[in-house]
Amino acid sequence: MKISKALLIVFLLFVLQLLITLSLSWLADLIALDTKYFEHYFGMVYLLAILISGMLVLHLFFPFKIKSWVIGPHVAQLNGRLLSLIVMSAIGLVFITRPFSDITRIWDIYVNGVSEPYFHEFNSHHYYRLITALILAPVIEELIFRKYIFTSLLQRYSLRVAFLVSCILFSLMHMPQLTNLIPTFMLGAACCLVYIKTKRIIYPILLHFTYNLVINLFVWIGAPALNWIYTLSPFDYRYWAIVIMGGLLGFLALKRIPISKP
């Protein structure tokens, strides 16, 4: 696969998501949907846009069998020690990428001396996003970006080029949220490394799932703890010590993942 084709596939994926979202939003206006159903409706719109666009791209460019590609011969063959390293890698990634999510707060603290505390208001829309983050995104995105794009690029380019291009494209797919660009690049790099080492797509899927799970746990139940730390002394040496320790945990866990034989 040429890099231009990989770019085209990612662009098509983005356009399909946009068209599906706009079409379903137009449908809501057409039927004069009651405002009390907006949260559920647009939560479903978000979920369906990810699902339909992903499945269309996979169907058009990549005929596959989910059972054999994702699960493999038997789920029981998953390596327990490897799974523990995957979990530790995901937790480490969450901590090392945290400053990029906090970048506006860090800037406000060091420049203006004040910053807004952590606060998350939940509604039913978040539950649909949770389904997408924990189920759809890990499976669909890993199949597209690791199993298909990375593998196809590797047939034409060097490992370094295929690795970087697939990770950059994965990051660009999350461009609407600029603070996600570097964290998603790092997540893509970790998933790609796990796929190279294990040669099974189920492990990058599990890494992606665990990363999103920990991120959502931070959002759902971690805000009070983050606010408490914030009131003590925001972004001082303790914050950066946690970030560095998380980075070391993730790095060491990824490094200890064994290389599978072909």
Q: 32-73 pLDDT, tens per residue? A: 777 777 778 888 888 899 999 999 999 888 866 555 555 554
Q: What pLDDT is attached to residue 74? A: 47
Spatial distance between the Cα atoms of 151 and 154, rounded to a whole number of angstroms: 5
Q: What pLDDT is attached to residue 40? A: 80
Residue 145 near residue 172, CB atoms below 8 Å: no
Spatial distance between the Cα atoms of 217 and 212, rounded to a whole number of angstroms: 9
Spatial distance between the Cα atoms of 118 and 178, rounded to a whole number of angstroms: 19
Q: Would you mind telling me the total number of residues written for the chain in this entry? A: 262
* Cα 116 → chain centroid: 25
| Contacts (Cβ under 8 Å, ≥6 apart) of 79 | none
Residue 199 near residue 260, CB atoms below 8 Å: yes
Spatial distance between the Cα atoms of 47 and 136, rounded to a whole number of angstroms: 8
Q: What pLDDT is attached to residue 123? A: 64
* Tally of CB atoms within 10 A around 133: 20
Instruction: For the chain, count helices (H), then strands (E).
Output: 13, 0
Which residue numbers in the chain have pLDDT < 70? 63-76, 113-125, 176, 221-234, 262
Dihedral of CA 119/121/125/130: which sign? positive
* Tally of CB atoms within 10 A around 32: 7
* Cα 27 → chain centroid: 29
| Contacts (Cβ under 8 Å, ≥6 apart) of 140 | 50, 51, 54, 55, 58
Residue 246 near residue 96, CB atoms below 8 Å: yes
Candidates 109, 92, 122; CA nearest to 229 is 109
Query: Angle of helix 202-221 relative to helix 223-232, nearest 10 degrees?
Result: 60
Spatial distance between the Cα atoms of 149 and 185, rounded to a whole number of angstroms: 15
* Cα 43 → chain centroid: 18
Domain ranges of the chain: 80-117+124-256
